[in-house]
Structure 1
Amino acid sequence: MSGPLRLVQGEGDALPEPPRARVPRPRGEEAARTRPAWAEDPLDELAERLVEQVSSAVHPYEVAALLESDGLTGEQITARYGRPDLFTLAEDLHALVPRHYPEPPPPPDPWKADHVRCALRGLVFALPGLAYVVGAGLWQGRAALTGLVAAALFAWAWNQGLSHRAHVRLAAEGGAGAGRTLALGAPAGALAATAVATTLTGWGGGAAFAAGQSCYLAAASVLLVLGRERALLGTLLPLALGAAATLLGPLPTALAVALLLGTLALACGVAAHAVRRALSTGTVAGAVRPRLAGSVPYGLFGLAAGVLAATAGALSPRSVIVLTLSMGAAEWLLYRYRSLALRALRAATEPRRFTARAAGALACCLACYLALLAAGSLLAGTAPAPLLGLGALLWLALLLQAFSLAWLPAAVCLLTAAAVAAAPLAGMPPGPAQLLCWLAAAVLAGAACHLLGRPTAHR
């Protein structure tokens, strides 16, 4: 049948129509479900126009405020949308549009590393070693060598503690606070290191070379703290040219002395200028000066790292060159770990997952650094195993220091350095002594996973 039948009782008499019941109009999702496809509801058009704002609303009152700010009047609500008031329309619109809360844009990464700066720091750590090539004929004898090593160890320890204190005062007091620390601490450290060398060697060429070495290390520490890596690299260019010239033959003594003194004068002059600029920046009002004792473990770590590097250099000088050149990459990986940990902190929903992610980031960064050291040792023709153990120990110690966890790595590195230095005196072969670095690195790795696996460590 193609149409409705007309039922009749008799000729032309139709049945009376039943009374129509008043059906309430469905609202919200029920209206969208029961309304025929051909029945247009102006609410759909309104929902399509305001879908972004309505989808992020957590309560119909937010939708009501939106509609009111949109200029919708009561007459329009009643005549066009068939709702008795604004709040009814807001409830229907809130029920019609699915909820969608967009994620906020990710904030900028505060630990994004500067690739150029890290590469420059690797160069300025390694290039000063060319001074020993240029000035090889200016000092001779075991006593002179002992004085040079002793002065270098003292300078490394002093400048490591000085750099930490200057960084802390720079953050707390501004450039002037860091400038005062460096203006007093750098010359004092250079004089003390020179005195150490002179006590061991007496006056002579070795003591003079140690004095220049101590003054340069003090100036370099000043420039590195104040972020003047490019200026420091510029002061090393004459020394690099002189070292390149030694490939053609030994340099005349006068030329070697001129190159060394010229490099030293440039470094000290640039450092003095940088300190003057820092002092002119002013001090933060109301800043609290940090405690001096907080920098002690950083100085002790510098002493331990110097002893470990000197011991490794006595067995294989080229391994120390590889280790020094890798310091720029090591610093970049420290920044990378902090960036990955921050990303894990934002992504993890419970502490256990964050701990696992932080441990994975630590393993990844450490593995990258060790792979770099292994490649460098193969290129230099040295055994990779001793260098990898030392590199892992130093990188993990630097990582913990970056989180202000200084006493543990300082103590572990000091004990390891004392054991490694005493091993030859006890007749221990190099192999078991080098194993101590791996054991110490394992201790620091476990400590890092435990201490840095807590979300509160990355605040």
Structure 2
Amino acid sequence: MSAPLRLLPGGADGSARTETGDSLPTLPRPRRRPKWAAPDPLDELAERLADVCAGAVHPYEIAAVLESDGISDEQITGVYGRRDLFAIAEELYARVPRRYPQPPLADDPWRADGVRCLLRGLVFALPGVAYVLAGHLLSGPADGYGLPSGTPALAAAALTGWAWNQALAHRAYLWLAARGRRGAARCLLAGAPAGTALACGVALALPGATATMAFVAGQAVYLAAATALLVLGSERDLLAALAPAVAGAIVLPVTHAPQWARTAALLTSLVLAVAASARRLTTAARTPAGPGGRPRPPLRSVPFGLFGLAGGALTLLAVFGDVLGRAPGAAVHGPLAVALTLSMGPAEWSLYRYRSRALAALRHTSTPGAFRRRAGVVLLGCLGGYLTVLTVLLLAAALLWPSAAPHDVASAVALPALGAVLWLALLLQAFGVAWWPAALCALAAATELALTESRLAPPDAVRAVTGWCTAALLGLLARTLLGRVTAHR
């Protein structure tokens, strides 16, 4: 194998020579334009097309731009002094250094609206004031657990309404995407009355006083109206409708108002909610239909209804679990449930935040492994941020209502576990993974109920262990499925 050629000093003519004595061709020296010479028109053309020339990967791209600009043969030979269009393109390509500008960043489609998320958190939590005003309607002889006799009917109706309206909301959102507001309105007009009738029928099958059944019916009607307003993006209307009940819950107990005043405050909010939903639905039903076709069959919404049922059961167990398990000093933890529902606004914001940061990670990573690691960090960060907010709300509820304060470690970590379960389940649902979260939450609710009723362990310990085990499974599922690049496209 021969050695590489080595250049030796050249001769008087400036040429270089190799060790064998062969001459190499002399490179032409760049000619400098005299100061008195007229400017080359090609310089002006190179300056005008600088961005095109810098981003071109072949002279033919520049030639295509020149041709689209309408350059003529007379200009090529007379003005620029070149033989043809491709000669100009090749010279421009050689003159302008390559630089490939990065495309401008697209707008973030997952930018969260903080005000809207705050409003949704409020409208999720404020209906709890109805139970403060309705104490005279829910009172009655105590059952075996020390609760009013109408509590099973109230809980059954609430679970039915949550399950039905969760599935209905998903179905309405599918119609909203396919046929616009008109499709969503027609879906809600057909499904909301059916859900109300179903919840009332379930309640009537269980024992309860007439006043309790009236409250159950009002609760079912309100859930249907609230679902319609939230799907149509009318959170402010729902907040305005809740104003009389909130004001009554603050003022009437302090002033020792008669029972009819409390009932009037409840009815006023209910009428306002129904009127607002009827107005919005009527307006939406008259809008032109979108260009899409019919969404997929209703079976696709079943797992969302199952999740609504399971999530409601887990929440009720957090409120009444100590009573059902007959724990020492058992009490109803209503204030803690209010803190949990109030945290749903920050939960929604953090879900948007996760999608936004995951999209940014997709843009700034070049391998699937790097994206998987970065997406895992984003997942932990957003979940940790939500749990921090939930913990602050729980501490505030404990300060305002000392009777609701956790009495041991298990009770202190039980409700954050439920918050983690709900957040991770909602995250998976946002990415189209519906059956797994619904099944795991239903399994957790059934396990908690069975262990609480059997009294094999303290209710708080049961909720804490079951909740964190379910959250770990959901987190592993989210880490696996959402760590794929294709999940975010």
Q: TM-score, with normalisation over the residues of structure 2?
A: 0.82
Aligned partner of 1:76 among 76, 79, 84 = 79
Shift in Å, 1:251: 2.5
For residues 70 and 283 of structure 2, the distance between their equivalents in structure 1, rounded to whole angstroms, comes to 56
Aligned position for 2:315: 309
| 3-state SS, counterpart of residue 261 of structure 2 | helix
Q: What are the equivalent positions in structure 2 for 1:366-405 lying under 5 Å apart?
A: 366-381=383-398, 382-383=405-406, 384-405=412-433
For residues 456 and 410 of structure 1, the distance between their equivalents in structure 2, rounded to whole angstroms, comes to 23
Aligned position for 2:468: 438
Aligned position for 2:62: 63
Aligned position for 2:103: 104
| 3-state SS, counterpart of residue 405 of structure 1 | coil
Instruction: Choose 218-227 or 314-323, whichever is displaced more.
Output: 314-323
Instruction: Choose 295-304 or 87-96, whichever is displaced more.
Output: 87-96
Shift in Å, 1:257: 1.0
Q: One-letter code of the match for 1:35? A: P
For residues 105 and 486 of structure 2, the distance between their equivalents in structure 1, rounded to whole angstroms, comes to 20
Shift in Å, 1:46: 5.3
Q: One-letter code of the match for 1:346? A: R
Q: One-letter code of the match for 1:423? A: L
Rg comparison, structure with higher value: 1
Instruction: Answer whether contact 1:344 1:358 (CA < 8 A) is retained.
Output: yes
Aligned position for 1:190: 196
Aligned position for 2:486: 456
For residues 317 and 34 of structure 2, the distance between their equivalents in structure 1, rounded to whole angstroms, comes to 88
Shift in Å, 1:353: 1.8
Aligned position for 2:153: 147
Shift in Å, 1:36: 6.8
Question: Among the aligned pairs, what percent are the same residue?
Answer: 48
2:75 is the alignment partner of 1:114:
no
Aligned position for 1:157: 163
Aligned partner of 1:337 among 354, 363, 379 = 354
Q: What are the equivalent positions in structure 2 for 1:248-397 lying under 5 Å apart?
A: 248-284=254-290, 287-314=293-320, 315=322, 316-381=333-398, 382-383=405-406, 384-397=412-425
Q: One-letter code of the match for 1:178? A: A
1:2-44 deviation digits (Å, cap 9, x = unpaired): xxxxxxxxxxxxxxxx99x9xxxx99xx77xx43778678466
2:452 is the alignment partner of 1:424:
yes
| 3-state SS, counterpart of residue 312 of structure 1 | helix
Instruction: Answer whether contact 1:419 1:433 (CA < 8 A) is retained.
Output: no
Instruction: Answer whether contact 2:76 2:83 (CA < 8 A) is retained.
Output: no
Shift in Å, 1:85: 4.8
For residues 255 and 92 of structure 1, the distance between their equivalents in structure 2, rounded to whole angstroms, comes to 88
For residues 208 and 252 of structure 2, the distance between their equivalents in structure 1, rounded to whole angstroms, comes to 29
Instruction: Answer whether contact 2:448 2:462 (CA < 8 A) is retained.
Output: no
For residues 143 and 86 of structure 1, the distance between their equivalents in structure 2, rounded to whole angstroms, comes to 92
1:98-155 deviation digits (Å, cap 9, x = unpaired): 1111112112222222221111110100111001111212221321122211111111
For residues 275 and 45 of structure 1, the distance between their equivalents in structure 2, rounded to whole angstroms, comes to 62
Q: TM-score, with normalisation over the residues of structure 1?
A: 0.87
Instruction: Answer whether contact 1:173 1:287 (CA < 8 A) is retained.
Output: yes
| 3-state SS, counterpart of residue 281 of structure 1 | coil
| 3-state SS, counterpart of residue 143 of structure 1 | coil
1:414-446 deviation digits (Å, cap 9, x = unpaired): 000111122221112121432111010110111
For residues 483 and 149 of structure 2, the distance between their equivalents in structure 1, rounded to whole angstroms, comes to 48
For residues 330 and 374 of structure 1, the distance between their equivalents in structure 2, rounded to whole angstroms, comes to 13
1:199-241 deviation digits (Å, cap 9, x = unpaired): 2124511111111111111111111111111111110011111
For residues 184 and 50 of structure 1, the distance between their equivalents in structure 2, rounded to whole angstroms, comes to 61
Q: State how many pairs are aligned.
A: 430
Aligned position for 1:35: 30
Shift in Å, 1:54: 1.4
Aligned position for 2:325: none
For residues 306 and 206 of structure 1, the distance between their equivalents in structure 2, rounded to whole angstroms, comes to 20
Shift in Å, 1:313: 1.6
1:153-212 deviation digits (Å, cap 9, x = unpaired): 111111111111111122122323222221121112112212222221245111111111
Instruction: Answer whether contact 1:201 1:207 (CA < 8 A) is retained.
Output: no
Instruction: Report the CA distance shift for 1:64/1:226 in structure 2 as closer, same or farther (over 3 A).
Output: closer
Q: One-letter code of the match for 2:348? A: E
For residues 292 and 66 of structure 1, the distance between their equivalents in structure 2, rounded to whole angstroms, comes to 53
For residues 232 and 110 of structure 2, the distance between their equivalents in structure 1, rounded to whole angstroms, comes to 18
Task: Point out where structure 2 has 5 or more consecutive residues left out of the alignment.
Answer: 1-11, 16-24, 141-147, 323-332, 399-404, 407-411
Instruction: Answer whether contact 1:420 1:434 (CA < 8 A) is retained.
Output: no
For residues 266 and 45 of structure 2, the distance between their equivalents in structure 1, rounded to whole angstroms, comes to 79
Instruction: Answer whether contact 1:167 1:178 (CA < 8 A) is retained.
Output: yes
Instruction: Report the CA distance shift for 1:259/1:351 in structure 2 as closer, same or farther (over 3 A).
Output: same
Instruction: Answer whether contact 2:178 2:292 (CA < 8 A) is retained.
Output: no
Instruction: Answer whether contact 2:310 2:438 (CA < 8 A) is retained.
Output: yes
Instruction: Answer whether contact 1:143 1:200 (CA < 8 A) is retained.
Output: no
Instruction: Answer whether contact 1:370 1:388 (CA < 8 A) is retained.
Output: yes
For residues 311 and 189 of structure 2, the distance between their equivalents in structure 1, rounded to whole angstroms, comes to 25
Task: Point out where structure 1 has 5 or more consecutive residues left out of the alignment.
Answer: 1-17
For residues 345 and 378 of structure 1, the distance between their equivalents in structure 2, rounded to whole angstroms, comes to 37
